[in-house]
Amino acid sequence: MSIIAARNFRQHINRMSTLQAEVVPYFSGGVIDYAGLAELGSRSGFDFTADEARQVLFISDDELTDFEKEMVSGGSVQLRDFKGGNARGRTG
């Protein structure tokens, strides 16, 4: 499992509009389901953990892509919120 795989999956999502449609449900209800994203990544051949997914999106210095901006626009999702554990102690 690796940060590199999570970054590669992020890039893969941004190139594949069909995969973007599969990602949308993991950004619903104001919470990012990083564990779900890691499972989707695994099914797509990218092996990384929920925490590694969080690091790539939340801690990364990379700018958000247009697709990623859509997912977090309007305040519906905050990058610190996620299923699988966070600073608020949320699990899911």
Query: Residues 23-81: pLDDT tens digits?
Result: 888 887 778 899 999 999 999 999 999 999 989 887 766 777 787 777 766 444 544 44
Total residues belonging to the chain: 92
Judge residue 44's burial from the number of C-beta atoms within 10 Å of its C-beta, 0-12 exposed, 13-18 middle, 19 or more buried. middle
Domain boundaries, the chain: 3-71
What separation, in Å, do the N-terminal and C-terminal C-alpha atoms of the chain show? Answer: 21
Q: Tokens 């990218």: give the residue.
A: 46
Q: How confident is the model at residue 65, as a pLDDT?
A: 76
| pLDDT, position 75 | 47
Higher pLDDT, 12 or 81: 12
